Amino acid sequence: MIPEPNANSSLIVWEIAVPAPLHKTFEYLPPEEGRPPPVGSRVLVPFSGRESIGFFIRARASTLPDQEKLKRVIAVIDKESLLEAPLKKLLDWVSDYYLIPPGDALMLGLTVNERKGKSPWVPPLNALMTCRTEDDPRTALARAPQQLRALQLIGEGCVSLVELEAMGISKATLRALSKTPFVTKVAMPNQAKISTADSLVLNFGQNQIVDSVTQTLTSFATHLVDGVTGSGKTAVYIECIKRTIAAGQQALVLVPEIGLTPQTRSRFEAALGCDVPVIHSGVSDSERGRAWAMARSGTAPVILGTRSSVFCSFKSLGLIIVDEEHDGSLRQQDHPRYSARDVAVKRGQICSCPVILGTATPSLETLANALAKRYHHHRLTERATKAELPKIRLVDTRGLALTAGLSDEAIEAINKTIARGEQALLFLNKRGFARSIQCEDCGWTAECNHCDSTMAVHRSPPKLNCHHCLSSRPTPRSCDNCKSIRLTSKGVGTEQLEAFLKRKITSAPLFRVDSDSVPSVPVFKELLGNIQQTPSAVLLGTQMLSKGHHFPRVTCVVIVDSDSLLFSPDFRAEERLLQLLTQVAGRSGREELRGEVLIQTRSPDHPLIKNTATAPYSDLAQELLGRRHSLGLPPYGALGVIRADARQERDAIEFLSQLKEQLTPNTGSRLVGPIPALMTRRAGLYRYHIVVHGQTRKAIHETLKRAINTGSTLKIGRKTSWFVEIDPTEIV
């Protein structure tokens, strides 16, 4: 219940956003002494029996009737807000648009340590810069020739203390000089030393894009760079970043996966001649804090990161690039849920800077925006190295005897590739040894005790493992049901395929890339390095291998089991499959070598599978767009979802039923459900949802807001964990 404003109240309180599941701010009495800090500054407040960080929003008259209960702010932490004005504005928008409580949204703009109330990392003052003064240093320092010499060495610029010492200036001299008014100690800017010697000469198409993007460096525009794999998109990003840096601005580059950062990072560092700090879950908190602070202070010209770095602080952001913009990993699937791509576009608008969305397979949302001329649409249809696009061949596996999931035709193609001294890449989206284990006598299958799912078989180490909740159990020797020992594994996983290929192909090494074999970024980096250095090899992996990497020696790609990707009731399933097939196929023949792609399938007549072999992605995507249009599904029309998870199935259903009964949807939106999620039980929780269909995002948004208000008043809500989601990526 929101209380009525109390007009007679003259009690001044501070409005504070506290990270909590409640969609509101809280009133506190100001601390005993101290004036209101700048908006967005961190404060320490008592909250539900503990101390919590909060954000100062404003000082105003209280609107509460029972002001005696108000607690007092314990302390003000920041003299200046760590959230610069445009970032604060962005986070306010994120809170409103994604329906994230304001305190939780503002937390997104801080590093892990800052969220705990710690001071931000401060770059060391390790350089001297000259200051303009009325006094002439030649007179003032007449008796200190060493200091004068140092001053001459610094000239008009900024020189690091280490460099000055290397030029023979003693520590004592530097200490004395830094106390004079002629210099000031600063953090050495991480200046880009852009060498033109080894930079590529961009082709006509690439140059056109660079010109178009950089002619609006100080105003907002979104550019879709829609280029086939290997068409030189990264080269375009690098040139745009160079121009951004030359204009004294910073750039932010977002990539969907951590796996993509090592390769991308070294390429950017080599081309830009400066450190490119990275922000993703694989780097330590302190390293992330450092990168964040360097961006905030302006000492890092470029930041590279995964989705959460879309909220990184910048002194002067001049360009945002989202690579592989179609990729689902850019969407945060847990609280606080947001799409880093959409936030990036909003950020560009707030900061008045261009945004590049790059991909070989634009998402239908982005494509629709480009078709409606909201985004500039740039196409690169040829590979930059003039390599031809690969030939795609379908292998009908119906009635064939497969060995470890491979047809004879695929095995032959791999053998030939190795014999030519080139690399073959096999894509199989199932890690472990086998998909499941089954009893030959009674048909029993080992299922997870916590999910509606079978357990995958792993051999090293041996166990059954659920890939949804990660629970495991020892591999049974006999059937749980009839005790028969005739247990067989079904469905091939990467471990099994690896074992088979290692026996079959002995003349070339095999590299397996999945989350079991590659536990960390350094291991992945090393592996990628080994792959680059090995002329002939078999690469075998899951999605981890299919994304964005550059494997110039791969000339044969086998999609081992395309059928496993085909059948999903989600409305985005076809779009995802098409993107995946195109992306995996794009790994083949990227330089002077022509490649081939084999798609193994038992559904060769399925329109999508059949057409990937013959039609370009853009044609098929347009077709899918047409279908979405006729069904009124995004990007035409909008979607929201209200989800409830509960230990007892009936609680999830009851909560959503009561909510639906009491909720009046905004006109222009309607509620469908409650319906069970496709995997109803996951990690011991039952999931149901109500889908909100509407013509406009505004209507959906309004309905979801009402759902939050109504849901908060329902008692049964306490037995469930429930939330709303706008623009969900899936509704199954």
Residue 397's binding partner, choosing from ligand ADP, Zn ion, none, with beta-carbon cut-off 5 to 8 A by kind? Answer: none
Lookup: tokens for 344: 């990036």
Half-sphere exposure (Cβ direction) of 340: Cα atoms closer than 13 Å: 31
Separation of alpha carbons 261 and 590, rounded Å: 20
Q: Is there binding between residue 255 and ligand ADP (CB under 6 A)? A: no
The single residue among 147, 214, 222, 229 that binds ligand ADP, judged by CB under 6 A, is 229
Residue 103's binding partner, choosing from Zn ion, ligand ADP, none, with beta-carbon cut-off 5 to 8 A by kind? Answer: none
Q: Is there binding between residue 465 and ligand ADP (CB under 6 A)? A: no
Residue 234's binding partner, choosing from Zn ion, ligand ADP, none, with beta-carbon cut-off 5 to 8 A by kind? Answer: ligand ADP
Q: Would you say 100 or 225 has its CB closer to ligand ADP?
A: 225
3-state SS of 634-648 is CCCCEEEEEEEEECC
CB of 358 to ligand ADP, least distance (A): 7
C-alpha angle 590/594/598, rounded to 5°?
A: 95
x/- map, 407-446, Zn ion, by CB under 5 A? --------------------------------x-xx-x--
CB of 200 to ligand ADP, least distance (A): 4
CB of 552 to ligand ADP, least distance (A): 7
Closest CA to 176 of 166, 189, 185: 185
Q: Is there binding between residue 231 and ligand ADP (CB under 6 A)? A: yes
Angle, helix 617-631 to helix 573-585, in steps of 10 degrees = 170
Which window, 128-136, 227-235, 471-479, 613-621, contacts ligand ADP (CB under 6 A)?
227-235
Q: Is there binding between residue 478 and Zn ion (CB under 5 A)? A: no
Q: Is there binding between residue 466 and Zn ion (CB under 5 A)? A: yes
Separation of alpha carbons 311 and 109, rounded Å: 5
CB of 471 to Zn ion, least distance (A): 5
Q: Is there binding between residue 202 and ligand ADP (CB under 6 A)? A: yes
Which window, 2-10, 131-139, 233-241, 248-256, contacts ligand ADP (CB under 6 A)?
233-241
Backbone angles phi, psi at 657, to 5 degrees: -65, -45
Provide the 10 A C-beta neighbour count for residue 373: 8
Q: Is there binding between residue 126 and Zn ion (CB under 5 A)? A: no
Q: What is the largest CA-CA distance in the chain?
A: 100
CB of 541 to Zn ion, least distance (A): 23
CB of 464 to Zn ion, least distance (A): 10
CB of 487 to Zn ion, least distance (A): 8
CB of 589 to ligand ADP, least distance (A): 12
Q: Is 453 exposed, middle or buried (0-12, 13-18, 19+ CB in 10 A)?
A: middle
Which window, 113-121, 155-163, 183-191, 472-480, contacts Zn ion (CB under 5 A)?
472-480
x/- map, 523-552, ligand ADP, by CB under 6 A? ---------------------------x--
Amino acid at 609: I
- Listed in sequence order, the residues at least 6 apart from 175 whose beta carbon sits closer than 8 Å to its beta carbon are none
Which window, 61-69, 134-142, 149-157, 195-203, contacts ligand ADP (CB under 6 A)?
195-203
Contact 125, 185 (CB under 8 A): yes
The single residue among 162, 200, 246, 270 that binds ligand ADP, judged by CB under 6 A, is 200
Report CA torsion sign: 657, 661, 96, 691: positive
Q: Is there binding between residue 215 and ligand ADP (CB under 6 A)? A: no
Separation of alpha carbons 257 and 234, rounded Å: 16
Q: Would you say 25 or 229 has its CB closer to ligand ADP?
A: 229
Q: Would you say 228 or 479 has its CB closer to Zn ion?
A: 479
Contact 407, 560 (CB under 8 A): no
Which window, 171-179, 482-490, 546-554, 584-592, contacts Zn ion (CB under 5 A)?
482-490
Residue 442's binding partner, choosing from ligand ADP, Zn ion, none, with beta-carbon cut-off 5 to 8 A by kind? Answer: Zn ion
Q: Is there binding between residue 448 and Zn ion (CB under 5 A)? A: yes
The single residue among 52, 95, 111, 206 that binds ligand ADP, judged by CB under 6 A, is 206
Which window, 12-20, 180-188, 228-236, 675-683, contacts ligand ADP (CB under 6 A)?
228-236
The single residue among 468, 504, 550, 705 that binds Zn ion, judged by CB under 5 A, is 468
Closest CA to 612 of 569, 559, 567: 559
What's the distance, CA 537 to chain centroid?
Answer: 30
The single residue among 108, 245, 310, 384 that binds ligand ADP, judged by CB under 6 A, is 384
SS3 7: coil
Separation of alpha carbons 367 and 361, rounded Å: 9
Which window, 61-69, 105-113, 224-232, 682-690, contacts ligand ADP (CB under 6 A)?
224-232
Residue 364's binding partner, choosing from ligand ADP, Zn ion, none, with beta-carbon cut-off 5 to 8 A by kind? Answer: none
Q: Is 469 exposed, middle or buried (0-12, 13-18, 19+ CB in 10 A)?
A: middle
CB of 484 to Zn ion, least distance (A): 5
Q: Is there binding between residue 233 and ligand ADP (CB under 6 A)? A: yes
Is beta strand 456-459 parallel, antiparallel or unpaired with respect to 462-465?
antiparallel
DSSP string over 532-574? HH-SSEEEEESHHHHSS---TTEEEEEETTGGGGT---STTHH
- Listed in sequence order, the residues at least 6 apart from 445 whose beta carbon sits closer than 8 Å to its beta carbon are 436, 437, 438, 439, 454
| H or E element that contains 619 | helix 617-631
Q: Would you say 306 or 517 has its CB closer to ligand ADP?
A: 306
Q: Is there binding between residue 122 and Zn ion (CB under 5 A)? A: no
Separation of alpha carbons 624 and 608, rounded Å: 10
CB of 652 to Zn ion, least distance (A): 18
What's the distance, CA 139 to chain centroid?
Answer: 57
Q: Is there binding between residue 555 and ligand ADP (CB under 6 A)? A: no
Amino acid at 583: Q
- Listed in sequence order, the residues at least 6 apart from 487 whose beta carbon sits closer than 8 Å to its beta carbon are 437, 438, 439, 440, 476, 477, 478, 479
CB of 5 to Zn ion, least distance (A): 50
Q: Is there binding between residue 203 and ligand ADP (CB under 6 A)? A: yes
Residue 231's binding partner, choosing from Zn ion, ligand ADP, none, with beta-carbon cut-off 5 to 8 A by kind? Answer: ligand ADP
The single residue among 152, 385, 530, 564 that binds ligand ADP, judged by CB under 6 A, is 385
Closest CA to 562 of 364, 409, 704, 428: 428
Backbone angles phi, psi at 466, to 5 degrees: -90, 125
Residue 448's binding partner, choosing from ligand ADP, Zn ion, none, with beta-carbon cut-off 5 to 8 A by kind? Answer: Zn ion
x/- map, 305-344, Zn ion, by CB under 5 A? ----------------------------------------
Residue 481's binding partner, choosing from ligand ADP, Zn ion, none, with beta-carbon cut-off 5 to 8 A by kind? Answer: Zn ion
SS3 472: strand
Separation of alpha carbons 644 and 272, rounded Å: 48
Backbone angles phi, psi at 380, to 5 degrees: -125, 105
Which value, to the nearest 10 degrees, does the dihedral of the CA atoms of residues 254, 257, 259, 261 take? 10
Q: Would you say 452 or 570 has its CB closer to Zn ion?
A: 452
Separation of alpha carbons 486 and 505, rounded Å: 30
Interface residue list for Zn ion (CB under 5 A):
439, 441-442, 444, 448, 450-451, 466, 468-469, 479, 481-482, 484
Interface residue list for ligand ADP (CB under 6 A):
200-203, 206, 227, 229-235, 384-385, 550
